[in-house]
Structure 1
Amino acid sequence: MDASRTRALRRGAFVPALVSAALVVAGCTAPAPSAKKDGTTTRAALPLAADDLQNLYLKVIKEVLPSVVQIQARQDLGSGVVYDGQGHIVTNAHVVGSEKTFQVTTANSEEPLTARLVYSYPDQDLAVIKLDQLPSGLKAATFGDSEKVQVGQIVMAMGSPLGLSSSVTQGIVSATGRTVSEGHTGGGTGATIANMVQTSADINPGNSGGALVDLDGQIVGIPTLAATDPELSGGTAPGIGFAIPASMVRTVADQIIKTGKVVDSGRAALEVTARTVVDDSYQPAGVAVVTVKAGGAGGHAGLRPGDVITKVGDIPVTTSTELAEVLATAKPGQKTTVTFQRDGAEKTADVTLGEQ
């Protein structure tokens, strides 16, 4: 698919291929048996027997599944992960939406529990809610270091796809370091998120906010998005899903729990509002500055309303989404240049990026 279609994303659930009762390790097929003099045969030992791998799956599921919950809001259904022993649960901002109270079903609870919103951070599509009462057996998950995630690594997804609570599926990590935008349609927050973990697993409604887990039993990401392709039946591009990396989840959740909000986003900004403009052929041609924050990065650089940004550094930008994607990979305080059109003339300004 081309780049324009890969940017079309939807919120949803993480549902890879189902875990099989009999697993074969890729690249570890059994060699042919060899004959002994007495007529019997022997078979060389596998590096990792199928039974061993299955037992590892079972161990991880037993350890982690009690930390994954189902979240019911009035307008949406999703998943969440128990973050600590105080009843804080991390999930996607698009799961909580504009709601303030929720029904939460844990792996060990027969009746739904009540929870309230602590804070929602749509810019990173993350939110934290808190249980009003702690049930017995509630267990916090262990969040790993997503910087150590490797392509080809086996992962499992846990959540409530289509309302099927405590579901477990499996896949692999397809890529790391992806920057994607989810849009505003279908209840999405419009967030542009950097360093996402791409996986071969499918994503369906209800798994959003759940757990992407490695075979060490550590959360490596929060399943959030699936790619869509309008040329495919149903619009979904199979095997292209994205999860917010665990390191970012910890950064955001820790701030929310400590201060009640996100005080240090780590997200770079020009501190302007802007919109996409088109040329005479109705093709995207740049990003027009609508307002400039007084004392902000764009203002210090000399940007004015009406300027049309066409490049940041060496990267061309033709839409507001492309501008957001470029900024998502940068850091506050980073120095760069902005190329823009003003009154028919091309100009360049030096800018020190601010913080969103």
Structure 2
Amino acid sequence: MRNPFMPLLLVPTLVGGIVIGNQFDVWPVDSFAWAGGQSAGDDLDDVDASPLVAGSRTLAKIAALTTPSVVHIESEHTDSQTGIFAEEKGAGVIVSDPRGSGVVIVTNRHVVGEAALGDIAIHIHDGRVIRPKQKWSDRASDLAVLRVEGPDLQPARWGDSDETEIGHMVIAMGSPFGLSGSVTMGIISAKGRRSLNLQKGDGADLINQDFLQTDAAINPGNSGGPLIDMRGRVIGINTAIASKSGGNEGIGFSIPSNLIGRIVGQLLQKGKVQRAYLGVQLDPAFDEATAKRLKLDRVRGARVAIVYADTPAARANLKLDDVILSFGGVDVQDENHLILLVSLTEVGKKARLVVLRDGKEITITVALANRVEKS
């Protein structure tokens, strides 16, 4: 079955849909009237006081304030494995450099890929085209950071994605089908989406999955563009869609700003992202029958299927069929939730695990190691 999840790579050619021409007549404003000679606009004279108009003005203000911070990105490179020449187009958002001065652009890794600095063109809202001075990227989160220089580069406000609730209104900004400066509106449909089988094209595993789901229209070319809350703050980076057609079907996914902050911070400070690991293989098919066999009241937590030798898990004496119920005081929902929690924990930190073993809960402390140490 065709995988419905895909990153938002730009479709090379815009097919149909947009008609531009001079064959249309133009009617003067207020030329249409209701029967009896009353202008259609007369009944709307007092609409300025309505909540809809107030909300519309708020959306317009947010869009106007944020648009100068959104950029259109074009890159080209030759794939190091296949030798195939590729062009990518997407979006990005200008933000303040957390190190204290200047600005950087946050986007998706798959937008800039393996492109050299000279092969990345950043189109600013005012028409300027600049090139990045430095690039950092992280395969496991599909994020990239570009250091740029220039006058009047306006950073967007950064938000707290943990404050975002299901049902909150949001707007998505970017360059769908190359149409830069586009704005769409929707709501947060869900939080904490994981286990998405994303077709990234480079075979890399997307370890850090904790997506915000939105029904704001997101299409190819929106990759790297910001998801904005009703206070004009960036709460996510638009990354993928679930689609059978290749276009918007009301199911888009954005990396939450708090996760982005951790990744970007490490990239800028260390040049790479360190991820902790336990050293176990978890059971992706953990079901009710297995939970019942392990004397668990329902399917919850993450079941240990294999413990690898000479790893943090082995040193902490984790065992086959242990069910990890909580990690660092956070209840574990499933195996992918545990992977996310562990990978975002500081390397070397000791974490407290609550484990179900032989029908009884026990507490285990494990010292986490760097994932690259895993053989």
Q: How does 1:119-268 map to 2 (within 5 A)?
A: 119-131=136-148, 133-134=149-150, 136-187=151-202, 189-228=204-243, 233-234=244-245, 238-263=249-274, 265=275, 268=276
| CA shift for structure 1 position 72 | 1.4
Report deviation, 1:349: 12
In 2: Cα distance, 1:236 partner to 1:164 partner: 14
Partner of 1:280: none
> Would you say 1:55 and 2:72 are equivalent positions?
no
- Say whether 1:10 aligns with 2:6: yes
**SS of the residue 2:61 aligns to:** helix
Deviation, 1:313, is: 2.2
Contact 2:48–2:54 (Cα < 8 Å) also in 1: no
Structure 1 regions of 5+ residues with no counterpart?
15-40, 278-285, 316-321, 340-347
Q: Give 1:352 shift.
A: 2.6
Pairing partner for 1:69 from 68, 71, 76: 71
What is the CA deviation profile of residues 243-293 of structure 1, one whole-angstrom value per residue up to 9, with x for unaligned ones?
111112222222322333335x5xx5223689999xxxxxxxx9986x957
**Deviation at 1:63?**
0.7
In the superposition, the TM-score normalised over structure 2's length comes to 0.64
Counterpart CA distance in 1 for 2:61 and 2:115 is 35
Q: Deviations over 1:56-76 (max 9, x none)?
A: 111111111111111212132
Q: Distance in 1 between matches of 2:109 and 2:122?
A: 15
Per-residue displacement from partner, 1:155-194 (whole Å, max 9, x unpaired)? 1111111211111111111122222434354357431334
Where do 5+ consecutive residues of structure 2 fail to align?
11-42, 77-85, 286-302, 327-333, 346-350
- Cα RMSD of the aligned pairs, angstroms, is 3.9
Q: Check 1:273–1:89 CA distance in 2 against 1; reply closer, same or farther (3 A cut).
A: farther
- Residue in 1 that maps onto 2:368: 354
- The SS at the match of 2:224 is coil
CA distance in 2, matches of 1:148, 1:88: 24
Shift of 1:8: 5.5
Letter in 1 for 2:5: L
Most deviating of 250-259 and 96-105: 250-259
Q: 1:144 to 1:55 in 2, by over 3 A?
A: same
| Distance (Å, rounded) in 1 between the aligned partners of 2:66 and 2:45 | 35
Structure 2 Cα separation of the partners of residues 122 and 174 of structure 1:
26
In 2: Cα distance, 1:239 partner to 1:293 partner: 45
Partner-residue secondary structure (3-state), 2:220: coil
8 Å contact from structure 1 (residues 182, 190) kept in 2 = no
For 2:283 and 2:171, locate their aligned partners in 1 and report how far apart those are by CA, in whole Å.
39
Matched, 1:90 2:98: no
Aligned length: 289
Alpha-carbon distance in 2 for matches of 1:113, 1:42: 46
Which AA in structure 1 matches 2:251? I
* 1:103 to 2:121 alignment: yes
Amino-acid identity (%) = 30
Q: How far apart are residue 218 of structure 1 and its match? A: 0.6
More RCO (CA 8 Å, sep 6+): 1
Scaled by the length of structure 1, the TM-score of the pair is: 0.67
Higher strand share: 1
